[in-house]
């Protein structure tokens, strides 16, 4: 073999000489991997087992210089290019079938400045890397709730989790980023430098370049938070949801209470008879004194009967990884999502109708409460546009056998259609591959127009197209 077959960006086929690939490898601090190389299989794997894509060339980068060389190589050879941060995106955009993948998974360093309360995070870091380092100082970066998610994709799309109601979205805490652009330059994006790029990467996804490092403002949350799970009976779900929709909206920003409808996992505090049955799980995090937190969750406990509960002061890193096991790598997943304008009776009816027929035991209906600091930021300050809706509905469809694909995807799509009357917009990071019109719905028309202008300037040939794409 003296050349490698590749997919080009325009959809045609081409070949790349091995001598050119060897030269790229010799010049890189990381490795260039081809099928058959030892690390190739682990490098190409992504979270969603629904996709089994095999890039022809993988640039496993160790530093930003490697990323620059890989971008130039992809551009000069007109290759279909993908970027893998944590590899978690359910749409599977991190892996380019027969194209070239820039894999950032070796770039996970996190450096914390305890005095300034800032963290510099490499583009391939996972949330666990950030939590581990920031917690040495009692700090946290506002981000997601599963510790094996990548900081890269999460931040570029917006990023929310247990502390975002109090401390803002990940993008609201981004101070600057180092970006490798489509023309192979390394630039800084911040409030002072390349402001349009800085605006675009705060919600516009991976459309404008490869972020090799992020600088975040951290929040001083300490190393333990009062948090817990209250597991409510599904038979009372309607009554509980009618209470929840108003109750959570009246809580201080320090308290975050979400709702998950699913089959009960084998939680140690639940009677074994409950394991596997339908329940409404109410997880919460309180950033304050324990006594006040206990007082605040009392109405949740008393409004309807519970199967069980567990709450207390939990180390932040434990809480942040406590749900990892429910969504480990490898299963088949299909997500549909939208922001909800309310949880009206009609919306609750729709949720209960579809929750009653979950296609597999691993599917779940996930309803975070979004209001707080993010909602008090102007909708044009960053490219994360939909900041005024109180709830989000995420339909997590998860299964093991390919023979269940059709059943599971049909359920998610029908559920999504049925709740459309209560929806406004979608979080870009929860989109599947749903087409350009749907990507537009992640933004307001004004924000979309601006994103297209930023794309035209920074990536006029659409080199970064394997994402929720904004065409130049």
Ligand X SMILES: Cc1cc2nc3c(=O)[nH]c(=O)nc-3n(C[C@H](O)[C@H](O)[C@H](O)COP(=O)(O)OP(=O)(O)OC[C@H]3O[C@@H](n4cnc5c(N)ncnc54)[C@H](O)[C@@H]3O)c2cc1C
Residues that bind ligand X (CB under 6 A): 46-47, 82-90, 93-94, 104, 123, 144-146, 149-150, 152-154, 156-161, 205-206, 210-211, 327, 429, 466-467
Q: Name the 3-class secondary structure at 130.
A: helix
User: Which lies closer to ligand X via its Cβ, residue 124 or residue 359?
Assistant: 124
Q: Shortest gap between Cβ of 15 and ligand X (angstroms)?
A: 25
143 vs 274 by CB, closer to ligand X: 143
Q: How far is the CB of 96 from ligand X (least distance, A)?
A: 9
- Measured between alpha carbons, how far is 250 from 260 in angstroms, rounded to an integer? 20
**Nearest to ligand X of 87, 293 (CB atom):** 87
In the block, tokens 């590899």 appear at 87
In terms of DSSP bridges, do strands 81-84 and 100-103 run parallel, antiparallel, or are they unpaired? parallel
Strands (E), 141-248: 174-180, 186-190, 210-217, 219-220, 224-233
Q: Decide whether 77 or 320 has the Cβ nearer to ligand X.
A: 320
Cα gap 249→332, rounded to integer Å = 34
Least gap, CB of 135 to ligand X (angstroms):
18
Q: Determine the straight-line distance between the first and last CA of the chain, rounded to whole angstroms.
A: 37
| Residue whose CB is less far from ligand X, 389 or 429 | 429
CB of 33 to ligand X, least distance (A): 16
Residue whose CB is less far from ligand X, 105 or 419: 105
- Considering beta carbons, is residue 211 or 274 the nearer one to ligand X? 211
Smallest separation (angstroms) from ligand X to the CB of 111: 16
Report yes or no: 303 and 280 within 8 Å, Cβ to Cβ: no
Q: How far is the CB of 146 from ligand X (least distance, A)?
A: 4
Report the distance separating Cα 23 and Cα 386, nearest Å. 46
* Cα→Cα distances 229→165, 197, 271, Å: 18, 40, 15
279 class by beta-carbon count within 10 Å (0-12 exposed, 13-18 middle, 19+ buried): buried
Q: What angle do CA 243, 245, 251 make, to 5 degrees?
A: 95
Token pair listed for 79: 């290759």
Shortest reach from residue 322's CB to ligand X, in Å: 13
Q: Identify whether the C-beta of residue 154 lies closer than 8 Å to the C-beta of residue 144.
A: yes
Residue 374, SS3 per DSSP: helix
Do 55 and 99 contact (CB within 8 A), yes or no? yes
Report the candidate in 30, 28, 10 with the shortest Cα–Cα distance to residue 78: 10
Q: Say if residues 211 and 123 touch (Cβ distance below 8 Å).
A: yes
Nearer Cβ to ligand X (56/105): 105
Which residue's CB is nearer to ligand X, number 24 or number 210? 210
**Minimum distance from CB of 295 to ligand X (Å)?**
27
For the bound state, the minimum distance from the C-beta of residue 85 to ligand X, rounded and expressed in Å, comes to: 2
What kind and span of H or E run contains 316?
helix 316-321
Q: Is 443 exposed, middle or buried (0-12, 13-18, 19+ CB in 10 A)?
A: buried
Q: Is the CB of 346 or the CB of 435 nearer to ligand X?
A: 435
Spacing of C-alpha 235 from chain mean position = 32
Whole-angstrom distance, CA of residue 371 vs CA of residue 340: 12
Q: Name the minimum Å distance from CB 137 to ligand X.
A: 22
């Amino acid at each position: 073999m003296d050349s490698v077959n590749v997919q080009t960006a325009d959809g045609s086929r081409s070949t790349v000489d091995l001598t050119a690939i060897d030269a790229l490898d010799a010049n890189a601090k990381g490795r260039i991997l081809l099928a058959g190389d030892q690390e190739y299989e682990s490098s190409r794997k992504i979270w969603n087992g629904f996709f089994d894509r095999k890039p022809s060339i993988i640039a496993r980068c160790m530093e930003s210089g490697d990323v620059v060389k890989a971008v130039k190589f992809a551009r000069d050879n007109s290759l279909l290019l993908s970027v893998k941060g944590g590899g978690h995106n359910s749409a599977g955009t991190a892996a380019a079938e027969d194209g070239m993948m820039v894999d950032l998974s070796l770039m996970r360093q996190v450096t914390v400045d305890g005095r300034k309360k800032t963290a510099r995070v490499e583009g391939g870091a996972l949330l666990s890397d950030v939590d581990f380092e920031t917690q040495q100082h009692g700090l946290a970066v506002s981000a997601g709730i599963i510790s094996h998610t990548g900081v890269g994709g999460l931040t570029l799309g917006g990023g929310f989790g247990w502390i975002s109601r109090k401390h803002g979205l990940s993008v609201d805490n981004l101070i600057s980023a180092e970006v490798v652009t489509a023309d192979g330059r390394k630039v800084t994006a911040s409030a002072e430098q390349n402001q349009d790029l800085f605006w675009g990467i705060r919600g516009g996804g991976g459309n404008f370049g490869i972020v090799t490092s992020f600088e975040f403002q951290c929040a001083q949350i300490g190393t333990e938070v009062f948090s817990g799970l209250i597991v409510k009976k599904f038979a009372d779900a309607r009554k509980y949801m009618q209470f929840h929709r108003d109750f959570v909206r009246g809580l201080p920003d320090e308290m975050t209470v979400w709702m998950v409808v699913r089959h009960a996992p084998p939680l140690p505090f639940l009677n074994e008879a409950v394991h596997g049955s339908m329940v409404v799980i109410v997880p919460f995090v309180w950033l304050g004194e324990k006594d006040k937190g206990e007082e605040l969750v009392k109405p949740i406990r008393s409004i309807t009967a519970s199967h069980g509960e567990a709450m207390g002061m939990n180390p932040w890193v434990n809480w942040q990884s406590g749900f990892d096991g429910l969504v480990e790598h490898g299963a088949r997943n299909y997500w549909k999502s939208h922001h909800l304008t309310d949880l009206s009776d009609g919306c609750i009816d729709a949720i209960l109708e579809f929750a009653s027929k979950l296609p597999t035991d691993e599917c779940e209906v996930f309803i975070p409460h979004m209001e707080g600091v993010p909602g008090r930021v102007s909708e044009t300050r960053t490219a994360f546009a939909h900041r005024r809706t109180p709830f989000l509905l995420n339909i997590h469809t998860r299964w093991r056998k390919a023979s269940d694909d059709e059943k599971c995807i049909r359920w998610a799509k029908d559920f999504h259609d049925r709740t459309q009357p209560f929806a406004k917009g979608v979080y870009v990071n929860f989109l599947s591959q749903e087409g350009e019109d749907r990507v537009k719905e992640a933004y307001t028309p004004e924000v979309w127009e601006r994103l297209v202008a930023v794309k035209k300037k920074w990536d006029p040939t659409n080199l970064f197209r394997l994402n929720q794409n904004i065409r130049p």
